[in-house]
Amino acid sequence: MRAWLLIVLIATICAGAVWGVAWYRSRDLTTPALLRRLPSSDALVVYIDFAALRRAGILSRIEPSKLTEDAEYADFVRKTDFDYKQDLDTAIAAFAPNGKFLLLRGQFDWKSLRSYVASENGSCYNSLCRMQGSTQDRRISFFPLQTNLMALAVSQDESAAVRMQDTAPGPVLEAPDAPVWLSLPAALLRSSDLPSGARPFAQAVAQAEAVTLSFAPDHDRIAAKLNVRCHTPQDAAALAAQLSRATALLREMLARDRQTADPAGLSGVLTAGSFRSDGARVFGYWPIEKSFLDNIFSAS
């Protein structure tokens, strides 16, 4: 009797362990939980809800881009039967100094992906796959966090994707309720590579604690919304005033040159901005007309 009780106890523990692993792998990881797995210090973090954009008909408006015309990408789609326009649901990417880290939710054929890695002289061990990218310092690694969730990294470290198995050190990012948003690092805001019209706005917020820019539907157009967390309410009030002055100055420059802000161009978007402070926060709002989006998509 004791032997049978021991067998039943061991079987129960094993069944519980298997159920626990299955539950852990199938549980729904929320966006905040996924963000904690990405390196966020000095990183540009981008979130895109492809499923929402697909339902809104926005993805279908994008003309074939250089990515889809690229022979390597076409070969990847053919061999893996994966196309982001129809198979990718959400993407969270962190562009950090030490590499690019992505968490992708969608429909993946893992067997085809492993076969593709092998055809490119890469290798897979257990669930981790590694292959060489287009250059020597681009090492691609990926593995399934869940059946429909891929952790992928492009870095000099050939196993960089493994870092996303657990939470990463660094500040916890705020996730706006929007299908597309960006968390902007100070280094990017101070960059000279930004469009000239956007530099005064970017440099004004470069000293803030956190800067988030989101894009969401707003009636018959899109709204770009700025959320800046400053150190003090006084800093926030000064920043809101500075951004308002920069917008007014841009309008004056256009008027002096006898030009009209084009709603389909960047000047039309920037000159329509409005700003306010609330405590230690600054909120900005830019309406974006469909004509501007059409220009962006046709140039992609």
pLDDT at 221: 86
Q: Which of 63-72, 99-108, 148-157, 203-212 has the lowest mean pLDDT?
A: 63-72
Q: Is residue 11 part of a domain?
A: no
Q: What is the mean pLDDT of the chain?
A: 82
pLDDT at 276: 96
131 & 231 share domain: no
What is the rounded distance in angstroms from the CA atom of residue 231 to the CA atom of residue 285? 21
> Would the pLDDT of 243 be above 80?
yes
Instruction: State pLDDT tens for residues 178-232.
Output: 999 999 887 777 766 666 666 777 777 878 888 999 999 888 889 999 999 999 9
pLDDT at 237: 96
What is the rounded distance in angstroms from the CA atom of residue 73 to the CA atom of residue 55? 24
Neighbouring CB atoms inside 10 A of 88's CB total: 20
CATH code: domain of residue 282: 3.30.980
Of the chain, the percentage scoring pLDDT greater than 90 comes to: 45
Q: What are phi and psi of 186, to 5 degrees?
A: -60, -35
Domain membership of residue 275 as a residue range = 184-299
pLDDT at 11: 40
What pLDDT band is residue 107 in, cutting at 50, 70 and 90? very high
**For 120-243, where are the E strands, in sequence order?**
123-125, 128-132, 139-146, 149-155, 180-183, 210-218, 221-229
Mean pLDDT (whole number) for 97-112? 93
Instruction: State pLDDT tens for residues 13-35.
Output: 443 333 333 333 444 578 889 99
Q: Of 165, 192, 211, at which residue does a domain stop? A: 165
Angle between helices 71-80 and 110-119 (to 10 degrees): 130
> Which pTM was predicted?
0.81
127 & 212 share domain: no
Number of domains the chain is built from: 2
60 & 88 share domain: yes
